[in-house]
Structure 1
Amino acid sequence: MKVVAIDFETANETRSSPCSIGLAWIEDGAVASVDHHYIRPWDMRFAPFNIAFHGIGPRHVQDADEFPAVLDRLRGDLDGALVLAHNAAFDVSVIRRTCEHYGISPPAFDYLCTVQVARLAWPDLPSHKLNVVGRHLGVDFKHHDAAGDAYACGKVALAAAMEHGANRIHDLPSRLGLTLGRLDRDSYAPSQAPRLPKRPVRPPPRLLPPGAEQRLAGRTVVFTGQLDTMSRGEAQGLAAAMSARVVLSMSRKVDLVIAGPGAGAKLRTAEAMGVQVMREEEWLALVAH
């Protein structure tokens, strides 16, 4: 069975807006080749947050094919393959929702989520985001670049297979107790992983610099999306340590939203209300200042 790792980038918050796909083919225990295709979104609506996240805008895709034509070129690679993706629920949903939008059949394949793989293979890592796992494994790649992320995803699966004595990536599910997901032309089944015991709650491992204790005093803060450099719980703990009032939902009392990749409704509400939005780079600068 063919093995190919994939990664999508989207133009906006909807799953039916792919603007880029990266693929990495795995053969004989190595990443054999990597490919990339720009995709022209059907409505060419690019959200500023997504552009800032992956750097792709209208000028990159103005001459690209829309999704049906790109899928036609790739269908032979995906049909019948074992597809890998880091946070596969997202990438598979991009295929499903975009195929639904265009009224076309999706490819049929089994898939394996390398986030689930990484959590089971290296449970002591502080996070299992692709950049964190890649750094742990010494994988050099450009994060949030579809081809780079697909390459890193393949390397994660290969490293986990080696770690657990699996001769092939196909053997990983049985070694780790995972159940493969499945996408068919008329059905979908999510991948499943065994439940891990909860870690004990620990104070944030990062030490605040002197004088930071009052940096967010009087501010009411919401976090949305996933930060690349720390867990949501760690970020909330740091904000509380800087005297912020951390809340979980938007209201008129919120005056600062810290938005990471995947931010959705809370970010849109904040922008509509004129609430200050801080991106991850600004948040890290605030913490370290």
Structure 2
Amino acid sequence: MDFVAIDFETANEKRNSPCSIGIVVVKGGEVVEKLHYLIRPQEMRFMPINIGIHGIRPAMVKDAPEFPEVWEKIKNYFPNSTVVAHNASFDISVLRKTAELYDIELPSFQYICTMKLAKNFYLGLQDAKLNTVNDFLDYKFIHHDALYDALACSNILLKVSEELKTTDIQEVADITGLVMGYVDCKGYSSCSLKGRAIRTSNKTYYYKRENNAENYNREAFKNEVVVFTGKLNSMSRDQAMTLVRRLGGATGGTVTKKTTILVTNMKNIQGLRREEMSTKLRKATDYKAKGQDITLLNEEEFLEMRYSRTGPTYTLQL
């Protein structure tokens, strides 16, 4: 089985703003090459929500090459290849829109989306996100790092093909009810679901109770008013707010003078410039500078607080 897995991270809401790419080359079912490049977007505008997802900041790419220079290094991996991506509609769109921005003519290649593949093949999953599927497959990786995401994407296709006992990607698509996508100099056709899979996985999804029933400290957030900014990786915003309230705290939708904790998905908060912060984080920083007792936590620090105070514990179901 031969293919090329790719993953892009973008600086802002525009698809033509890639700031990194990960590429994994698979030959004969084995990873033979791994590449990762930081990319300087033509428009050096980074949105806080994007920084919160992948952690890449303007200072990290200011000396990086723009896409045309990176393309010269990677373009030979694409012609007449099978390209694999998770949520391929995003990554293929980034490639197409960026090529359009720089007047680059893309070669012909077919592609398959492992998110749609997993959705049809692994029945019963709560969703088909990259981390959800790979957690189900017991594959650990660093999410939202372009190279590791490309490796995780590769893992899904390899596991599906292994279970189906075929190394033919077209056959994998046919069995799982997918139509392969295609890109050439004239345009593209999307990878789509044409119906239910002929065969589905024998692997059974089970609800991982250990992630949802913990001996937490029932007073971990006592007297705290907690506000969240950015998307959490470990749980939904609603679950996080429920957790705080069940552990003795209160939650808010915006930062006010009553806020005592702001939880952000940003890492290395102290190194952020003001324009890289979300509105809530800027407001919390301003209150803190004026003397308000407000603690800024990243997601990992927030999760540690579940156990951080002495007192009775109990099993919490989310």
The interval holding the TM-score normalised by the smaller chain is 0.7 to 0.9
CA drift at 1:211: 5.7
Between 153-162 and 72-81, the greater mean CA deviation after superposition: 72-81
C-alpha distance in structure 2 between counterparts of 1:145 and 1:11, whole Å: 13
Kept in 2, the 8 Å contact 1:166–1:175? The answer is: no
User: What are the residue-to-residue correspondences of 1:128-277 with 2, within 5 Å?
Assistant: 128-193=128-193, 194=195, 227-230=232-235
Could you tell me which amino acid in structure 2 is paired with residue 228 of structure 1? N
Q: Deviations over 1:181-201 (max 9, x none)?
A: 1222222222112369xxxxx
Distance 1:28 1:34 in 2: 15
- The one-letter amino acid of 1:14's match is K
Report the CA distance between 1:259 and its aligned residue. 8.2
Distance 1:101 1:27, change over 3 A: same
Q: Name the counterpart of 2:124.
A: 124
String of CA shifts for 1:162-215, please: whole Å, max 9, x gaps: 11222333421011011111222222222112369xxxxxxx966896869x99
Question: What root-mean-square deviation, in Å, do the aligned CA atoms of Structure 1 and Structure 2 show?
Answer: 4.2
Structure-2 change in CA distance of 1:282 and 1:74 (3 Å): same
Stretches of structure 1 lacking an aligned partner (at least 5 in a row): 197-203, 262-266
- Please give the alpha-carbon distance, in whole angstroms, between the structure 2 residues aligned to 1:280 and 1:88: 27
Unaligned runs of 5+ in 2: 198-210, 267-276, 285-295, 309-318
Does residue 24 (structure 1) correspond to residue 2 (structure 2)? The answer is no
Tell me the residue number matched to 2:70.
Answer: 70
Shift of 1:37: 1.4
Q: Assess if the C-alpha contact under 8 Å between 1:2 and 1:80 holds in 2.
A: no
| 1:42 CA drift (Å) | 0.5
Cα deviation code 1:87-114 (max 9, x no counterpart): 1111111112212222332333211111
Name the structure 1 match of 2:85. Answer: 85
Q: Residue 107 of structure 1 aligns with which residue?
A: 107
Task: State the Cα deviation string for residues 37-78 of structure 1 (Å, max 9, x = none).
Answer: 121111222233323322222333233221122123222211
**Percentage of identical aligned residues:** 37
Q: Structure 1: how far apart are the matches of 2:242 and 2:179?
A: 34
1:103–1:288 CA distance, 2 compared to 1 (3 A): farther
Residue deviations 1:104-134, cap 9 Å, x none? 3233321111111122222223332222322
After superposition, the Cα gap between the structure-2 partners of 1:114 and 1:259, relative to the gap in structure 1 and judged at 3 Å, is farther
> 1:127, 1:230 within 8 Å by CA — same for their partners in 2?
no
Q: Distance in 2 between matches of 1:127 and 1:31?
A: 26
Partners of 1:93 and 1:236 in 2: CA distance: 34
Structure 1 residues 233 and 84: alpha-carbon distance in aligned structure 2, compared to 1, 3 A threshold = farther
2:5 and 2:151 in contact (8 A); partners too: yes
Q: TM-score, normalised by structure 1?
A: 0.72
SS of the residue aligned with 2:104? coil
Q: What CA distance in whole angstroms lies between the structure 1 residues aligned with 2:145 and 2:129?
A: 14
State the TM-score, normalized to the length of structure 2: 0.67
Kindly indicate whether the alpha-carbon contact (under 8 Å) linking 1:78 and 1:108 is maintained by their aligned counterparts in 2: yes
* Matched AA of 2:129: K
User: Is residue 239–residue 246 contact of structure 1 (8 Å, CA) maintained in 2?
Assistant: no
